[in-house]
Structure 1
Amino acid sequence: MFTSSLVTFLMATLVVAAPGVVLIGDSTVTDGAGWGNGFCTDTTGLARCVNLSVSGTTTISWQGQPQYSTMLSTCKNANTFATIQFGHNDQKVMDTATFAANLESLVGKVKAAGCSPILVTSLARRTFSGSTLTDILGPYSAQTIAVAKKLGLPLLPLLADSMAYVQKLGKAQAMQFNLDYSTTNKDTTHLNALGNRYFGRIVADEVKKTVPSLAGNIVADAALSAKIAAGTL
Structure 2
Amino acid sequence: MFASLLSLALVALPLVSAAAAPKPGIILIGDSTVATGAGWGPGFCKDTTGLATCTDLAVSGTTVISWQHQPTEYNAFLKACTVPNTFATIQFGHNDQKIYNTTVYGANLNTFAKLVKAKGCTPVIITSLARRNFKSAHVPDDILEPYAQEAISVANALKLTYLDLHQASLTYITKLGSTLSYEFNLDGTDHTHLDPMGQAYFGRMVADLLIAKLPTLKSFIVPNATMTKAEANGTL
Above 0.5 in TM-score?
yes
What is the TM-score with the length of structure 2 in the denominator?
Answer: 0.92
Which ranges of structure 2 fall in alignment gaps of 5 or more residues? Answer: none
The answer to whether structure 1 residue 130 and structure 2 residue 136 are counterparts is yes
The answer to whether structure 1 residue 63 and structure 2 residue 63 are counterparts is no
The answer to whether structure 1 residue 33 and structure 2 residue 38 are counterparts is yes
Cα separation, 2, equivalents of 1:108 and 1:196: 29
The answer to whether structure 1 residue 146 and structure 2 residue 146 are counterparts is no
Q: Displacement, 1:145?
A: 0.4
2:204 — aligned with what? Answer: 201
What is the SS of the residue equivalent to 1:132? coil
Letter in 1 for 2:231: I
What is the TM-score with the length of structure 1 in the denominator?
Answer: 0.93
What is the SS of the residue equivalent to 2:194? coil
Q: Displacement, 1:212?
A: 2.4
Q: Displacement, 1:12?
A: 4.4
Letter in 1 for 2:163: L
Q: Displacement, 1:118?
A: 0.3
Q: Deviation per CA, 1:106-142: give whole Å up to 9, x if none.
A: 1011111110000000000000112211102000000
Task: Say whether the 8 Å CA contact 1:208–1:216 is kept in structure 2.
Answer: no
Q: Displacement, 1:68?
A: 1.0
Residue of 18, 22, 27 corresponding to 2:23: 18
2:95 — aligned with what? Answer: 89
Superposed structure 1 runs of 4+ greater than 6 Å apart: 6-10
The answer to whether structure 1 residue 172 and structure 2 residue 176 are counterparts is no
Cα separation, 2, equivalents of 1:10 and 1:34: 41
Cα separation, 2, equivalents of 1:139 and 1:11: 47
Q: Displacement, 1:19?
A: 0.3
Which ranges of structure 1 fall in alignment gaps of 5 or more residues? Answer: none
- Counting aligned pairs with the same residue, the percent is 49
Cα separation, 2, equivalents of 1:157 and 1:167: 16
The answer to whether structure 1 residue 105 and structure 2 residue 105 are counterparts is no
Cα separation, 1, equivalents of 2:214 and 2:16: 25
Q: Deviation per CA, 1:145-168: give whole Å up to 9, x if none.
A: 001111111110100000000000
What is the SS of the residue equivalent to 1:197? helix
CA RMSD of aligned residues (A): 1.6
Q: Displacement, 1:13?
A: 3.2
1:52 — aligned with what? Answer: 57
Cα separation, 2, equivalents of 1:68 and 1:100: 20
What is the SS of the residue equivalent to 2:153? helix
Q: Deviation per CA, 1:66-86: give whole Å up to 9, x if none.
A: 211110011100100000000
Cα separation, 2, equivalents of 1:145 and 1:216: 26
2:86 — aligned with what? Answer: 80
2:121 — aligned with what? Answer: 115
Q: Displacement, 1:217?
A: 1.0
Residue of 223, 230, 233 corresponding to 1:230: 233
Cα separation, 2, equivalents of 1:10 and 1:144: 38
Letter in 2 for 1:51: D
Q: Displacement, 1:31?
A: 1.7
What is the SS of the residue equivalent to 1:64? coil
Q: Displacement, 1:10?
A: 6.5
Q: How many residue pairs align between the two structures?
A: 226
Letter in 2 for 1:129: K
